[in-house]
Amino acid sequence: MAKILQIETATAVCSVALSIDGKAIVVKEESGLNLHASNLTLFIEEVMFASKLELKDLDAIAISKGPGSYTGLRIGVSTAKGLCFALDKPLIAIETLKMMAAGFILENPDYDGLVCPMIDARRMEVYSTVFDSQLSVLEETSAKIIDEHSYAKLLSTNKITFLGDGAAKCTDVLNHTNAFFSASNFNAASNMSLLAENAFTSANFEDVAYFEPFYLKDFVLTQPKKKV
Where exactly are the structural domains of the chain?
3-95+187-201, 97-182
Percent of the chain clearing pLDDT 70 (strictly above): 95
Measured between alpha carbons, how far is 31 from 12 in angstroms, rounded to an integer? 6
Is residue 28 pLDDT above 80, yes or no?
Answer: yes
What's the mean pLDDT in 90-96?
98
What's the mean pLDDT in 85-96?
98
Q: Which pLDDT score is estimated for 110?
A: 95
52-86 pLDDT, tens digit each: 999 999 999 999 999 999 999 999 999 999 999 99
What's the mean pLDDT in 203-220?
86
Same fold, 3-95+187-201 and 97-182: yes
Mention the CATH class of domain 3-95+187-201.
alpha beta
**Torsion sign across C-alpha atoms 215, 217, 218, 220:** negative
| 114-122 sheet: strands from edge to edge | 137-145, 125-131, 114-122, 160-163, 179-182
Is residue 222 pLDDT above 50, yes or no?
Answer: no
Percent of the chain clearing pLDDT 90 (strictly above): 89
Is residue 217 pLDDT above 50, yes or no?
Answer: yes
134-187 pLDDT, tens digit each: 999 999 999 999 999 999 999 999 999 999 999 989 999 999 999 999 999 999
> What's the longest Cα–Cα distance across the chain?
62
CATH 3.30.420.40 fits 97-182, yes or no: yes
Q: Is 108 exposed, middle or buried (0-12, 13-18, 19+ CB in 10 A)?
A: middle
DSSP string, the chain: --EEEEEE-SSSEEEEEEEETTEEEEEEEEE-TT-HHHHHHHHHHHHHHHHT--GGG-SEEEEE--SS-HHHHHHHHHHHHHHHHHHT--EEEE-HHHHHHHHHHHH-TT--SEEEEEEEEETTEEEEEEE-TT--EEEEEEEEE--TTTTHHHHHHS-EEEESTTGGGGTTTS--TTEEEE-S----GGGGHHHHHHHHHTT--B-TTT-----SS---PPPPPPP-
pTM tops 0.75: yes
